């Protein structure tokens, strides 16, 4: 398992779980951040075709704001594992924390670079989240989500300050909170 989208100011956090088929290896699996967008897209389809099982789940912006990003990430991971069919015997998670699961789980720091199933999960989570951010861009092109995918780039922070947050922005994140306060403060 792995997740994508803990750091952005907008959009859900997305988790993916993958059970690879040893009889159908997938060449080129790596940490999604180390791959080009084109390569991630190609591997996304190959993983979905060749894996024994895969699932993609998310925690919404409202859940992130209510729970905090760590707990929302764990919730998305729980949902991804629960959606796997068949269920795995053990979960390997990228990072240093494991969600509460009904099966044994191990956290692997840097797991997306050393464990092929975690690499596959990182690709599914990243591509799925990026596609969601492109859909958000289509609905709100003035925010540039096609370029920054919700991450707190200089451009995104400027647009957020100029235009204010939309429903997809995480209000519990400090830059969004400040932009909202500035907007409301300027209205008085």
Q: Which helix (H) or strand (E) holds 53?
A: strand 53-59
What percent of the chain has a predicted confidence (pLDDT) above 70? Answer: 98
Helices 116-139 and 37-50, packing angle to 10 deg:
120
Using one digit for the tens of pLDDT, what is the confidence trace for 75-111?
999 999 999 999 999 999 999 999 999 999 999 999 9
Main-chain phi, psi angles of 32, to 5 degrees: -55, -30
CA pair distance 135, 133, nearest whole angstrom: 5
Show the tokens assigned to 179.
């932009």
Write the CATH number of the domain with boundaries 2-140. Answer: 3.30.420.10
Using one digit for the tens of pLDDT, what is the confidence trace for 125-135?
999 999 999 99
How do beta strands 91-94 and 13-19 pair? unpaired
Domain-wise residue ranges, the chain: 2-140
Whole-model pTM above 0.85?
A: yes
Please tell me the predicted confidence (pLDDT) of residue 183.
83
Q: By the 8 A CB rule, do 115 and 108 touch?
A: yes
Using one digit for the tens of pLDDT, what is the confidence trace for 151-186?
999 999 999 999 999 999 999 999 999 999 988 876
């Amino acid at each position: 398992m792995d997740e994508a989208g803990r750091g952005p100011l907008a959009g859900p956090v997305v988790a993916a779980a993958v059970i690879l088929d040893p009889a159908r290896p997938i060449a080129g699996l790596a940490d999604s951040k180390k791959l080009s967008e084109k390569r991630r897209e190609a591997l996304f389809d190959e993983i979905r075709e060749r894996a024994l099982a895969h699932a993609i789940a998310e925690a919404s912006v409202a859940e992130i704001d209510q729970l905090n990003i760590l707990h929302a990430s764990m919730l998305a991971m729980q949902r991804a594992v629960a959606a796997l069919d068949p269920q795995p015997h053990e979960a390997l998670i990228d990072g240093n924390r494991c969600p509460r699961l009904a099966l044994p789980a191990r956290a692997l720091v840097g797991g997306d670079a050393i464990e092929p199933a975690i690499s596959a999960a990182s690709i599914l989570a990243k591509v799925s989240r990026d596609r969601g951010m492109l859909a958000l861009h289509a609905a709100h092109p003035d925010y540039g989500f096609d370029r920054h995918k919700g991450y707190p780039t200089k451009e995104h922070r400027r647009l957020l300050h100029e235009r204010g947050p939309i429903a997809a922005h995480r209000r519990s994140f400090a830059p969004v909170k400040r932009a909202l306060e500035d907007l409301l403060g300027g209205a008085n």
